[in-house]
Amino acid sequence: MTERTGVGILGIGSALPARVVTNIDLEKTLDTSDEWIRTRTGICERRIAEEDVCTSDLAAQAAMAALRDAAAGPDEVDLIILATATPDAPLPATACYVQAKLGASRAAAFDVAAGCTGFIYALSIGHQFIASGNYRRVLVIGAEILSRILDWNDRATCVLFGDGAGAVLLGPVPAGQGLLSFKLGSDGTYADVLAIPAGGTKLPTSIATAEARLHYVKMAGNEVFKFAVRVIGDVTVQALDELGLTVADLDFLVPHQANWRIIDAARKRFELPEERVVVNIDRYGNMSAASIPVALEEAVRSGRLKRGDLVSMVGFGAGLTWGAAIMRY
């Protein structure tokens, strides 16, 4: 990738619903146990949005926090890119609702659908717009209300996910700083291992699809698990390779938070000490496109991750898709 200018994070923010649902709460309505969920996934609790909150609300709240962090106003934003698998509605793009809620009247707005890799895909697009000189301020948001697309009778999926949003404001930074390399991938031959079968053009909504509960997330968890363990390591190495760097150069790995065992497998493969891997799945579950920016925000806010640190953000998910971004924060 040729760098005409550096592109980096000027501000970062997040938004998490106040309502906490613990594994113990789930035990009351589901044939599951705190022990199973914790040992198989690392999740202890997750946040669930109240009924009157939609994805654009959380996205706008996270975006406002990112703008405040950068001391920037909504009128400075040129473009809003929202990564989500849980849009407010099939049409229009949820990013347009976010634009209205922010009052970012100059901004263009669109959504990116790349499942749990959405934030990395969106970040790479935002990067291109600034590196090309077309735009100076791009909001990249990952936001999800996954609780609305889960089958709460399906213990194999509903215990895994949570709601939340994270956002960054991108802008020009000196060359050599900020986002340094991206590696993206997809393999559509595995599209059906993590999908919502109905509600699109292939299987339009009908009484039969609703009765068959085909509007909820279906996942072949084991298939995704094996794929995730493989790609999370490979794509990080490939993205570092482009820069002539290795895992030993990394200060932090900020992985998608789908399962603690997946993250730990990557950590062990890389021989990284625990303190160099950002993990918050215990408190939020899998927030899909929101998981990486929320984890990054927490690491920055707590003072753990500092300006100048070399960071790999790595995602994987529905598509199947995967991606890594290397950043000198």
Contact footprint for ligand UT7 (CB under 6 A): 32, 36-37, 40-41, 116, 155-156, 159-160, 221-222, 224-225, 228, 258-259, 262, 286, 317
Residue 215 annotated among the catalytic residues of the structure: no
Q: Which is nearer to ligand UT7, 240 or 258 (CB)?
A: 258
Q: Are 47 and 20 in contact (CB under 8 A)?
A: yes
Active-site residue among 116, 127, 259, 280? 116
Q: How far is the CB of 220 from ligand UT7 (least distance, A)?
A: 8
Active-site residue among 23, 259, 280, 286? 286
H-assigned helices in the chain: 23-27, 34-41, 55-69, 94-102, 118-131, 155-158, 207-211, 221-241, 260-270, 281-284, 291-301
Q: How far is the CB of 161 from ligand UT7 (least distance, A)?
A: 8
Rounded CA-CA distance 194/198 in Å is 13
The neighbour count for residue 274, using CB atoms within 10 Å, is 8
Active-site residue among 23, 256, 259, 280? 256
φ/ψ of residue 266, rounded to 5: -65, -40
Q: Which is nearer to ligand UT7, 259 or 280 (CB)?
A: 259
Q: Which is nearer to ligand UT7, 81 or 194 (CB)?
A: 194
Q: Are strands 218-219 and 310-317 parallel, antiparallel or unpaired?
A: unpaired
Q: How far is the CB of 311 from ligand UT7 (least distance, A)?
A: 20
Q: How far is the CB of 227 from ligand UT7 (least distance, A)?
A: 8
Residue 286 annotated among the catalytic residues of the structure: yes
The neighbour count for residue 74, using CB atoms within 10 Å, is 20
> Cα–Cα–Cα angle for 236, 228, 262, nearest 5°?
90
- The 3-state DSSP class for residue 208 equals helix
Q: Which is nearer to ligand UT7, 137 or 256 (CB)?
A: 256
What residue is closest to ligand UT7 based on CB?
A: 221
Find where tokens 């969106």 sit: 122
Q: How far is the CB of 200 from ligand UT7 (least distance, A)?
A: 19
Residue 256 annotated among the catalytic residues of the structure: yes
Q: Are 77 and 107 in contact (CB under 8 A)?
A: yes
Q: Which is nearer to ligand UT7, 39 or 206 (CB)?
A: 39
Catalytic residues, which ones?
A: 116, 256, 286
